[in-house]
Every structure is written in C-alpha cells, then in structure tokens.
Amino acid sequence: MRQKEIIEELNRLKGEIDRLEKELNKPQDETIYVPKGILEDKTKEIINGKHTLFCDEDGWNAMASSANLKSTEKQYKLVPCERKDLESGDVAFCYLQEGETDIYYAKEDLSSYCVVTDKGIVFWAEDDAGVSTCNYKLNSDYIWYKVVKA
C-alpha cells in the first residue's frame, strides 16, 4: 500500500512540475512589443526588405514599397488571443513553443508574423520576398497573438 501511495505522489509531483514549466515559459502580464522595423508605420503591413505583405478587400497581396516607413520602438504590441478570434485582414503573431524557444526569441523572427485571410494565413517565408500561404488552421499547439497599436 505504501508503494502505491508513493507512486501516486510522484505522478502528482511530475504533473505539477510540467504545469510550472509551462507557466514559466508563458509571458507574464507585461506588455510584449513588436520589435521596431517589422511593420509598416501607418498601415500595419509586414515589411520584408523593400516589400510589404498586406490584406485588403481583394485578399492578400505583396508589393514593393518605396516609402518603406518602418514601425518605431514600442509602436505595436502583442495581445494574447485564440486563432478563432482573428479575422481576415488582421496581422497576427504565432509560434510553436518547443523546448526553450520562448516568445522573446520568437518575436524577432519575421516569419512568425502573418496576415490572416478568410482561408488561412500568409507570411514571409524567406528573406528574398518569398511568401507562404497556409490554407488551414494551425493546430492548438501554436500560441497566437493579435498585433495592435500600443
């Protein structure tokens, strides 16, 4: 009987350790800002070099931008949300929390930012203006944030 109680307590403690590790990797209540230069200054388009990625009434598009007004420090922030809360035209941030990858590292990665469309998401996949589209909902393991003005 004693051995069974010890095993149950070990399993309970393992579950508690797993929960605490997840809580440690999750950002606390502090504001998480989008690094400067990732978005267009006024329209919240995602910038890749001299190109911008955006969504309008015709759907998503990528085009050359001569103005290239990049966002400043603390101009945009990330607000936690669920994928289902995002609407077509929203700019979002999502990442898959694996191992020690946390949001503070992932938020520097341009490919973590996406434009939400009716059918999925669109994001910069390469440094040379390559665009990827995902016409499916990413699974619940992804952590989602909406990009909003700070």
Quick one: which H or E segment has residue 13?
helix 2-25
- Residue 23 inside a domain? The answer is no
Considering the domain boundaries, does residue 19 fall inside one?
no
Helix (H) or strand (E) holding 60: strand 59-64
The structural domain count of the chain equals: 1
In a domain, 5, yes or no: no
Place 114 in a pLDDT band, splitting at 50, 70 and 90.
very high
- Contacts of residue 104, defined as CB under 8 A and 6 or more positions apart, other chains included, come to 27, 32
Distances (CA, A) of 74 to 37, 41, 70, 81, 102: 10, 12, 12, 19, 19
Spatial neighbors of 47 by CB under 8 A, at least 6 apart, are: 37, 38, 39, 40, 53, 65, 68, 70
DSSP reduced 3-state for 30 = coil
Does residue 52 lie in a domain region? yes
The whole-number average pLDDT for the span 100-124 is: 86
Q: Residue 83 has what DSSP assignment? A: G
Is 65 within the bounds of a domain? yes
The maximal CA–CA distance of the chain, rounded, in angstroms, is 75
Q: Which residue has the higher pLDDT, 138 or 3?
A: 3
pLDDT in tens, 6-38: 899 989 999 888 778 777 766 556 789 999 989
Q: How far is residue 44 CA from its own chain's centroid?
A: 15
> What does pTM read for this prediction?
0.74
Domain range for 85 is 29-149
Distances (CA, A) of 96 to 32, 77, 103, 138: 17, 19, 9, 10
* 117-145: pLDDT as tens digits: 888 899 998 766 688 888 766 656 788 99
| Confidence at residue 133, expressed as pLDDT on a 0 to 100 scale | 84
Is residue 84 in some structural domain?
A: yes
For residue 50, what pLDDT band results from cuts at 50, 70 and 90? confident
Residue 31 to residues 60, 84, 145, 150: CA-CA distances in angstroms? Answer: 28, 22, 12, 9
Q: Is residue 12 part of a domain?
A: no
What whole-number distance in Å separates Cα of residue 112 and Cα of residue 100? 16
Assess if residue 13 is contained within a domain: no
